[in-house]
Structure 1
């Protein structure tokens, strides 16, 4: 029974990822963001439960890895794929002859660049799974990257950005964001984890700073504010790394 609980939580994460993909294709981005956040919450719980119940298994590890690729890799790829569509890219018809059947596809080829995120996320997760346990992240965690891209269309569609949609919904911004995110996920860049020890405030100053700054951001930007929170997380880590050098 103890071994079933972590896997059950992992499957809940998987269900969230699958539902998020389906809703992303329907442009229901707020629901996608909620499901991605919920899925990553289950991802946290399954690891916590496995350690607490002393039921860490190879099966659970592999199931968790596959699930993470879907929730934190495929979902953001589909979201950005849809953003390319909203950017007004030309849709072309392609005819393919397969086993004597003439099939016609209506596609926007440039939109498939979005799935570079999925590839980069899979590589990042593979590195994480084969790395030795550490109190820090090396490279941007895939859940943070997934939350950023899932929250981006929600932020863009908010009243605050209604007059500047064109800045974000264009190929240059989207492609730059994709490449930069893949670089951040796989770069040798140290980022603090969100594990907080209340016994030593000084060693967790950046974690507490993130929490304090995030509250007004989420209050002001609402769900779209999660994209801003991820940017703040990156900024705090830049400050932290520069401070450690000097």
Structure 2
């Protein structure tokens, strides 16, 4: 019976992603974000459960990536599409016999979905990524993208909103996102083999700083946390050498 628990959690991740996609398509970014958060929660604990119950399997690995393609790939791609659609509504459109009519540039946002799928495929065949990640994990990237509409909605800062709702900023974030997902940067994984502080000092410090940043900056903390994650990983790589 216990061997089904991790896969059940993975399917809950996929279900959360499907619901988030529906909300995102309808422009309800807040609820889309909530379900992405829920999906990322399930995504963390399915692997944790598999390791603790010693029921890791090839099916579980493949199922996990398929769920992540939706929750952490499709949903952020849709959200970026919708954000770009908001700021470039007056740009040129594609129009084939009046059957297909939409702004062309927002389709660029779906590059995040393609880059996420490619990153997950590489992860599945890369035997090195057991204790670290190469490139930004798709859940972290998804949190980065969904933080943008949440900052607009809840931070109530006109200067920050003007930056986020700038087409060049959104294009730059899209390109950076795709690059980070498939870069060769080694990033530490939040996988605890034990609870010893010495063995997990980087992870404990990172989690503590995340809590402080979230309390102080709220949703605006998410991009800062992603930057912190990359910076700490690079520093960790340099010190380990």
TM (norm. structure 2) is 0.88
1:217-228 to structure 2, matched below 5 A, reads 217-228=213-224
1:1-246 to structure 2, matched below 5 A, reads 1-90=1-90, 94-96=94-96, 104-132=99-127, 133-196=129-192, 200-244=196-240
Deviations 1:141-181 (A, max 9, x none): 11100111111211133335323322121221111111112
Matches of 1:75 and 1:157, distance apart in 2: 18
Unaligned runs of 5+ in 1: 98-102
Against the structure 1 CA distance between its residues 201 and 49, is the aligned structure 2 distance closer, same or farther, given a 3 Å change threshold? closer
Matches of 2:187 and 2:121, distance apart in 1: 18
> Alpha-carbon deviation of 1:92?
5.5
The SS at the match of 2:200 is helix
Deviations 1:31-70 (A, max 9, x none): 2222112112212222233344444444333322211111
Return the index of the structure with the highest Cα Rg: 1
Aligned pairs, how many? 240
The SS at the match of 1:195 is coil
The SS at the match of 1:137 is strand
Against the structure 1 CA distance between its residues 96 and 177, is the aligned structure 2 distance closer, same or farther, given a 3 Å change threshold? same
Matches of 2:90 and 2:49, distance apart in 1: 48
Alignment root-mean-square deviation, CA? 2.3
Matches of 1:225 and 1:185, distance apart in 2: 20
TM (norm. structure 1) is 0.86
